[in-house]
A and B are shown apart, each in its own frame.
Chain A
Amino acid sequence: MHKIWLIIQREYLTRVRKKSFIIMTFLTPLLLAAFMVIPAWLATISDSEDVVMVLDESGLFADKLESKEDLKIIPVAAGSLEQAKMAYQETDYTALLHIPKLDLDKPEGIRLYSKKNTSLQVKFRLENMLEKEIESQRFMASGIDRDMLNKMKANITMTTVNLSESGERDSNVWVTSGAGIVGAVIIYFFIFLYGVQIMRGVIEEKTNRIVEVMISSVKPFQLMMGKIVGIAGVGLTQFLLWVVLSTIVVGGVQAAFDIKPTPTPIEQMQAGRELATGEEAAQTEESSQASTFSEVSNAISNLNFPLLLGCFLFYFLGGYLLYGSLFGAIGAAVDNETDTQQFMFPITIPLIISFIMSYTVVIQNPDGPVAFWMSIIPFTSPIVMMVRIPFGVPVSELLLSMGLLILGFIFTTWIASRIYRVGILMYGKKINYKELSKWLFYRV
């Protein structure tokens, strides 16, 4: 036990002291901060207003199109389209909107001229304005009062609530999915990044020829486990440092620049949908966004964090140990990194499949059969189960999955140690699967 501890220490310390580790550890939170600051900063500088010239030949929209804070409307005095175009050419306005004589029942032929491509946003907003105006005119024509109609419209936001034994909790599908996906992505990348480090470490020991010196002092199994555990420590250290540093950096940036958190993609999507439903939404956008925000933060605070974090650590370590020992075995079986491809393939396939499935099938139907089986089978469970957990997984399933994961990594570690003890002393021989399977039962 003392020896394995020495090995763990060496594996850990040599990696943590590496420049690449230190750079990665400190750079990532800075990049994260940059991701926050740069869009916010860009938003403040690119707050230029769009100016649109309007040539209204129909006369329907005169005075009706109003300038907004960042979208200015300049009506063009009556004249031909050609004249207007020429006038537009001389300005640096965003676009020229041409409304020909219109049939209210069939509004066609409206054109937007611009020197550069206009942004979608400007186009949508103009379309919205025109649609609304045409609708109003149609209402008037059919004798319906616009204000009356507005009063009759209903606007509903549903709050989703989880009914469980522990009581009612506000939930948010986006938050729930997000929390799981984040955990799954982190596990996926850590298994890959650090699994490959194990493999490289073993290959390094083999090519350095230190391995025979080592195993005349310690057992091959100790050497392998020491490396796996040591590198796990490196991974956890890096992860914790990222969490801590990110919190500090993000907090610092927020305080320094006084920016609100940029809206998450979820909020932007919701805001987008609301925008599409028309003007009313725009009017209530402010309040709705506020309510979305509170809903999201409510849902976040209602996630079961201890459970989520506990499961994350378990699946993080379990998945890492399961795959890590296999990566170690690959390292032992080959002489150099270029030979690893054929053995890497079967290991990476279940990882990649579970990663892809987790944000497609699993997220859409977290209680479906695919999600269920993939979260039970040890090779896919570390990633898939993380996605399912925020949606609520029965304790029995969770225990089954965890139990199988433990059995799984005991099994892969056994296989790996068998391959390892033969492989590390084998040089200059191209290994295939048949050879590898023989090693499992060699008496050494």
Chain B
Amino acid sequence: MSILKIDGVTKRYANHTALDNVSFDIPAGCIFGLLGPNGAGKTSLIRIITQITGADSGEIYFKGEKLRPSHIKDMGYLPEERGLYKKMKVGEQLLYLAQLKGLTKEEATARIKEWVARFEIKEWMNKHIEDLSKGMQQKVQFMATVMHQPSLIILDEPFSGFDPINANLIKDEILRLRDNGATIIFSTHRMESVEELCDNIALINRSRKVLDGPVREIKDTYKTDTYQVIGNGQLMVTSPDFEVLEQHSNHGVFRASIRLLDGASPNDLLRYLIQRVEVHSFIELVPSINDIFIRKVKETYHA
């Protein structure tokens, strides 16, 4: 079942079109990557989903219902431009933001306690936001985003500004939230950073959707049956089943990219190689999302 169905959404500003008839589904319980270069329209789409702005045409369905204001409290949004009230204490700030999302004071207090224990930040509660380091502020902001246990969490460029340790902490939290049933939308222009996290993606370029679907399927579609082999010996491929795309040799160690042709299986290639050389490494060369994106964009413009 899809938690969010985006159906033909178009958004125009005074002198440019931010989104042009964009449609795709976001399945419930997955981590969804909304990918595309800067200025592609990701943030515009997110602002429509979070009802900060409205679409000029098209509809969005949240859990099968047309998007309406009451859905807001079932969403958590971490904008790219982050900020908190600098002069407020951490505890007050979290309480305030959680209450604005519709939690009662008691619920909010209980949740804050939970998160404080998880992030081990008890001693910060009475500190002012401005006295925290940037990384700590980001953690507080992340807590504020998910405090009300929304079923849809939208994170715009979530890892920008996080040091690697905190980024990993947040990654683990995101996976935990997903396992608890939440759906997470990642929006980023750094496609490689979310590749391993995302179950599904949509690629947006120049206000249009270029591609969407489960990462595995997309990769399967775009994979080229190419394998990288590293080993010892003199590699000479003569079989018509395989095509050598690239080959380097150095002091008897070779590195080659070999593509399978018409129905040959990886095992066929491996068997073929073992008879001739000493194989040290055999890996499928999977195109990265970035590669796919570039290819897809090129296709769209050449077509």
Chain A positions within 8 Å of B, measured between CB atoms, are 3, 6-7, 10, 14, 204-205, 208-219, 425, 427, 438, 443-444
Contact = CB atoms under 8 A, between A and B. Distances in A.
Contacts of A6: 96, 99-100
A208 B54 contact: no
B50 A208 contact: no
B69 to A, nearest CB: 8
Task: Please name the 7 residue pairs, one residue from A and one from B, whose CB atoms are nearest each other, closest first.
Answer: A209-B83, A208-B83, A210-B83, A212-B79, A209-B81, A216-B77, A217-B100
B258 interface: no
Interface in B132-159: 141, 144
Q: Name the residue in B14, B78, B84, B100 with the highest tally of chain A Cβ atoms < 10 Å from its Cβ.
A: B100
A218 B88 CA distance: 19
Given A6-B100, A217-B72, A217-B100, A212 B86 contact: no
17 contacts: A3-B100, A7-B100, A14-B85, A14-B87, A204-B86, A208-B83, A209-B79, A212-B52, A212-B79, A212-B81, A213-B77, A213-B78, A213-B144, A215-B52, A216-B79, A438-B14, A444-B53
A210 B93 CA distance: 11
Interface of B: 14, 47, 50-54, 56, 69, 72-73, 75, 77-79, 81-88, 96-97, 99-101, 141, 144
A119 B70 CA distance: 77
Nearest to B75: A216
Contacts of A425: 47, 52
A216 B83 contact: no
A427 B84 CA distance: 17
B165 to A, nearest CB: 24
Nearest to B51: A216
Nearest to B82: A209
A222 to B, nearest CB: 9
A90 to B, nearest CB: 68
Contacts of B84: 208, 210, 213
> Which applies to chain A's interface (DSSP): helix, strand, loop or mixed?
helix
Nearest to B85: A210
A41 to B, nearest CB: 41
Given A6-B99, A438-B14, A213 B88 contact: no
B252 to A, nearest CB: 58
Contacts of A210: 83-85
A443 B100 CA distance: 25
B291 to A, nearest CB: 33
Given A209-B79, A443-B56, 18 more contacts: A14-B85, A205-B85, A208-B84, A209-B82, A209-B83, A212-B77, A212-B79, A213-B82, A213-B141, A216-B50, A216-B51, A216-B52, A216-B72, A216-B75, A217-B73, A217-B101, A219-B69, A443-B54
A443 B55 CA distance: 9
A14 B88 contact: yes
Nearest to A208: B83
A165 to B, nearest CB: 53
B46 to A, nearest CB: 9
Contacts of B72: 216-217
B149 to A, nearest CB: 15
B97 A213 contact: yes
A214 B100 CA distance: 8
A105 to B, nearest CB: 79
A218 B77 CA distance: 12
A167 B75 CA distance: 66
Contact of A208 (B51, B53, B85, B144): B85
Contacts of B77: 212-213, 216
Given A215-B52, A438-B14, A444-B54, A10 B83 contact: no
Contacts of A213: 77-79, 82-84, 97, 141, 144
A6 B82 CA distance: 21
Nearest to B141: A213
Contacts of B51: 216
Contacts of B82: 209, 213
Nearest to B49: A216
A10 B96 contact: yes
A205 B54 CA distance: 22
A211 B50 CA distance: 13
Contacts of B85: 14, 205, 208, 210
B100 A218 contact: yes
Contacts of B97: 213, 217
Contacts of B14: 438
B86 A208 contact: yes
B107 to A, nearest CB: 14
Nearest to B84: A210
The residue in A3, A7, A208, A438 that gathers the most chain B C-beta atoms within 10 A of its C-beta is A208
Contacts of B56: 443
Nearest to A17: B87
Contacts of A14: 85, 87-88
A217 B145 CA distance: 10
A191 to B, nearest CB: 24
B139 to A, nearest CB: 15
Nearest to A427: B81
Nearest to A219: B69
Nearest to A223: B100
A434 B21 CA distance: 30
A379 B97 CA distance: 36
Nearest to A214: B100
A106 B79 CA distance: 91
A234 to B, nearest CB: 15
A427 B144 CA distance: 24
Contacts of B87: 14
A443 B53 CA distance: 9
Contacts of A211: 83
A205 B75 CA distance: 22
